[in-house]
Amino acid sequence: MVEYDLIVIGGGSGGLTAASGAASMGAKVALIDDQPGLGGDCLHFGCVPSKAFITAAKEVHAVYKGAAEFGLTVSGDVLFERAIERVKEAIDEIQEIDSDERFESLGVDIYRGKGAFKDEHTITIDGENPIKGKRIVISTGSRPNVPPINGVENVSFITNETIFNLDYLPKSVVFIGGGPVGLELAQSLSRFGSDVTVIETSQSVFKKEDHEIIPIVTKALEKELTFVFEADVTGISEQNGHKVVTYKVNGEEKTIESEAIMMSTGRKPNTDKLNLEAAGVNENKGYITVNESLQTNKSHIYAIGDVNGAFPFTHGAGMEGKLIVQNAVFGLKRKVNYGNVPWVTYTEPEVFHLGLTEQEAKEKHGEEIRVFKVGTDDVDRFIAERKKDGLVKVITDKKGHILGAHAVGEDSGSWMQEIVFAKEHGHKIGDISTVIHPYPTKGAILNQAADMYWREKLFDGWLPKVSEKYIKWVR
């Protein structure tokens, strides 16, 4: 039986980071993956294809919007198949970077198949070929959650794993669930020409965002999508070639017909085939329980990425993968910290999230927090581009240390990165005031938020009284 210093199960972002990092440090590493190519959900079904899809839809939308505003006429039909081709081209190009050959050249042994525990140190591949590891990392990701809706087993539907296999543009689509990824895809389909309805059980979408961000992005999306809130889907069926979704709102049963149904009802961890019981690894509803060092109850077994349920984003898994190299390979006890890790929802406008919301900050730090808000309608670049329906909101403690930062606006995921650096390195919001931004840029909105801090600190306190006396008597 081959023995390894580290076995990694799953070839997504976290697993690849852990495997390559450990191998580069001299560890003997095995990587087990059951997909045709490395890269995981992010490359094949998530981040990469969705952003290629979103960009294509945005370009189509810009054509129609520009034509309407400037008196031009647009003719012809959208070549939806070209959008799908662009998605596959992007996947293929990045797949070359995440090739087996590259990781093998780093010293990683790659095994194809499903990995499962035989005991707490032994892993089998497709039930055979056991290998042994001193330490093991579980990084098997997640898959679309399909709720037990009446009739679901008899009706075909789309998920984020199948949408990019479409060979035609559905005339109408009903999204069951309004999660962030679903909304990105819903807006894109609408821009290609589909009539899109989103059925959501809650009162709103973007429930994890700050309360002042939610209405702005919702209002923008309502121009392109139809929302049905506080609705429970009770059944789906197929009648006369159309999909029929039955749902209840305020106790009243309603139906809606569409050409396609998209399941956007969250994710579930890929842990059911791992035979965790054989290793004695604890889990909760499929998610593997880990401590702050990403260790399971078996100290030599770690879990990163979607399977631990802590921070289900690709960049979060990559960060955890780097931490694993330190902890699993070198035996350190570094703790993971998600407080300085942002996320972005790539609708238009984009939604940026870092740290605590205002409500969370009040619960944790009391009423002495400070909030600085700047609308995009107060920033010259946004005014010039006619992108005035946006907001930046920075939450600090009473001394100006950044607790959270949130934004909604075009490309906010790009121009908010400056505050990620500031928070990561312990800078106060006021420090951004001294950073010179070229005029006019969108990032200047953070300058203005920082200037608000100084105006409040300098001009609402004792300094104006002292300076007034100084000017009067000395100058």
CA–CA separation, 389 vs 406, rounded Å? Answer: 14
**Any binding-site annotation on 178?**
yes
Tokens representing residue 65 in the block: 């919007």
Instruction: Give the phi and the psi of residue 155 in degrees, each rounded to 5.
Output: -125, 135
- Contact call for residues 398 and 391 (beta carbons, < 8 A): no
**Any binding-site annotation on 266?**
yes
**Any binding-site annotation on 51?**
yes
Tokens representing residue 40 in the block: 């995981």
Residue burial 283-307, b: 16+ Cβ < 10 Å; e: rest: beeebbebeebbbbebeebbbbbbb
55's enclosing H/E stretch is helix 47-70
**Any binding-site annotation on 348?**
no
**Any binding-site annotation on 151?**
no
Tokens representing residue 100 in the block: 């087996």
CA–CA separation, 51 vs 12, rounded Å? Answer: 17
**Any binding-site annotation on 413?**
no
Grouping H, G, I as helix, E, B as strand and the rest as coil, residue 313 is: coil
**Any binding-site annotation on 14?**
no
Instruction: Give the phi and the psi of residue 326 in degrees, each rounded to 5.
Output: -70, -45
User: What is the DSSP code (8-state) at residue 326?
Assistant: I
CA–CA separation, 398 vs 400, rounded Å? Answer: 6
CA–CA separation, 408 vs 215, rounded Å? Answer: 10
**Any binding-site annotation on 269?**
no
**Any binding-site annotation on 144?**
no
**Any binding-site annotation on 142?**
yes
**Any binding-site annotation on 180?**
yes
**Any binding-site annotation on 241?**
no
Closest CA to 162 of 46, 57, 267, 257: 46
**Any binding-site annotation on 140?**
yes
Cβ-based neighbour number of residue 201 at 10 Å: 15
**Any binding-site annotation on 36?**
no
> How are strands ordered across the β-sheet holding 260-263?
226-228, 195-199, 172-176, 260-263
Residue burial 311-344, b: 16+ Cβ < 10 Å; e: rest: bbbbebbbbbbebbbebbbeeeeeebeeebbbbb
For the annotated binding site for NAD(+), the residues are 177-184, 200, 266
For the annotated binding site, the residues are 51, 115, 140-142, 177-184, 200, 266, 306
For the annotated binding site for FAD, the residues are 51, 115, 140-142, 306
